[in-house]
Amino acid sequence: MDNHSPRDVAEGVTPSEDATRSWHPGDGESPRGAAGAADSGGFTPRAAIARHAARPGAAGVRSAIRSRLGELPVVYLLLLGLSISWRVLIGREDWMLLEVDLALIASLVAFMAVLWSRWPLSSTWLKGIELGMVGMIAARNVFVQFHMMLGYSLLRDRMMAQLTMKNVVLLDAVLILTYGLYVPKGWRRAAAIVFPLALIPFATLLVLVLRYPEPMGWLWLGWSGSTTPRLYLFAFDATVLLILAVGATLGALMVGRLRREVDEARQLGQYRLEGKIGSGGMGEVYLAEHALLKRPCAVKLIRPREAADPDALERFEHEVRITATLSHPNTVEIYDYGRTEDGLYYYVMEYLPGLNLAELVRRHGPLPPARAAHLLRQVCGAVQEAHEAGLIHRDIKPSNIVASRRGGVCDVAKLLDFGLVRSSPSHRAGAAGGAARVFGTPLFMSPEQAVGAPELDPRSDIYSLGAVAYFLLTGRPPFQGDRGLTVMLAHAREPVTPPSQLVAGLPTDLERVVLRCMAKDREDRYRDADSLERALAACACADGWDHRVAALWWAEVDRRDAGASSPLRPPPRPPASPDRTGPPPAPPSAAAGPSPDRPAVRRPAVPGASSFRRNRGPDG
């Protein structure tokens, strides 16, 4: 949601359409921790949009454990590499020990492949992998200590035997520290692992002394000029390992306590906050889960500094109240609203798996005409309900409309962000006085909004719907410019370039509908959203896209995304949104329109199930 005063516009406010991006599985495992950039005002739960509504809770915990465990084999491989290098350097390479190390390296690589793959792993499997890796390294240390200390003792090389013991203690210390750092666990479980690890070198030494008393007799001899047995010198090593074991246990205890405190802090009434997934001009958006219903939802929190501003708080509450009065299935649903004991205002809305239309076009290029008409017809229903209630949205734009998956149905359009809604003239006693202010997003606002007209009616939203349709069909807004004022003046004065001049093959009847929506004189536009919906339904392409075709499209996108990344490499992050600052660059593929070196893209007038194959952007 954008709030542009005339002064702001004159100073060159950039007409960025949206600054918050959506998440989908191709971007990573989860939206958690990947907050969008700050929006330019108001709230749009678009950052809570994901093509898969991954359930938070146990799955999230397993994901975090798996990620941490995936780093552990790398550390162990480095240790083994250093150990092999040390033996080669001193010229004492043992081929039996080398075979053990190579077998261990192969096992660690296998564990790493499993942890870095997309294969689902239960908590039991993760615990087994954790204990397997730690157990193998501990067993290898026992073998090294037993084999090399005995060998050097039989050769009467007391210095190398003692150095072997010191190196094993050092490796054991690293093992204890890495376990404490990389493996999430409770303090009891940590103690059950690290204390035996600390005792292993000395238990092995005891077995050597009892089993081979004569070769190991040097332990009872002192250094030259000293009667202190060499065995006593290992007491310091034992103390160090004991301190590390105690530290690892206490660390696990403190981490567990901090985790509980964080969990309590993330509990908002009946909702558990799972992670920040977006930002708006007034607050942050979090992915959350209802404590009892276990239902994912999106929670909007108003920032403390905004809550201290009476105007901002009024806008926040106004948005909640307005949205809650609307019940159309294509309007985002509000679940709850409240205020915490420490004065934090929040409201809860439905979680929408899908993509907002701005992101959809950015990822996959302009939409087939039939799909654009299919989505816009649904939005018309939501807009009509608001108009009948005497409300004007004033900020209809692609990022405020979501193509979601709801109840097993694909491409269900949802209209969001009612923070700029105001009553129509027929529902107001009079217009507010004071200096005119321009509210909305310059790229998609009506001419009367652009000039700060005091009286807006539903036909202002009709113009914005036409601008959205233009964007969906061409991949670019109707007008572009370096400054917000430039774009706003273009809306008010300049004729619209017919979309067929940018993308060849567009149905003429659909183009007529779009251009009528964007007439400069509101009297020439459709009088209401119902009339626009009927006009879209009368287009020849209206029956070319339905929920069945949408399901095929989403299924193909899912298959492509599933194979886009190597199973051993995390999926790449998407590029930054092209409309963060400045005028939006020409979208990919056909979105750029005709140029001397790029012919116009031709598309079928009535796309069917295969039309989306010809209209994908570079992602396709």
Q: Which three-class secondary structure state does DSSP give residue 363?
A: helix
List 18, 395, 417, 461, catalytic entry: 395
Q: What is the three-state SS of 96-153? A: HHHHHHHHHHHHHHHHHHHHHCCCCCCHHHHHHHHHHHHHHHHHHHHHHHHHHHHHHH
Q: Which three-class secondary structure state does DSSP give residue 573?
A: coil
Q: What is the DSSP secondary structure assignment for residue 23, as one 8-state letter? A: B
256: which residues sit within 8 A by CB, 6+ positions away? 186, 187
Q: What is the DSSP secondary structure assignment for residue 36, as one 8-state letter? A: P
User: CA dist 130 to 137, 256, 400, 549, Å?
Assistant: 11, 18, 45, 45
Residue corresponding to tokens 């989306």: 612
Residue 395 annotated among the catalytic residues of the structure? yes
What is the phi/psi pair of residue 535, to 5°? -65, -40
258: which residues sit within 8 A by CB, 6+ positions away? none
Q: What is the three-state SS of 484-499? A: HHHHHHHHHHCCCCCH
What is the phi/psi pair of residue 35, to 5°? -70, 145
Q: What is the three-state SS of 432-492? A: CCCCCCEECCHHHCCHHHHCCCCCCCHHHHHHHHHHHHHHHHHCCCCCCCCCHHHHHHHHH
Q: How far apart are CA 47 and CA 280, in angstroms?
A: 9
Q: How far apart are CA 284 and CA 303, in angstroms?
A: 7
Feature table: binding site for ATP: 300
Q: Which two tokens stand for residue 233?
A: 């010198």
Give the alpha-carbon dihedral of 118, 119, 122, 126, to 10 degrees.
-80
Q: How far apart are CA 52 and CA 560, in angstroms?
A: 15
What is the phi/psi pair of residue 100, to 5°? -60, -45
The residues assigned a catalytic role are 395
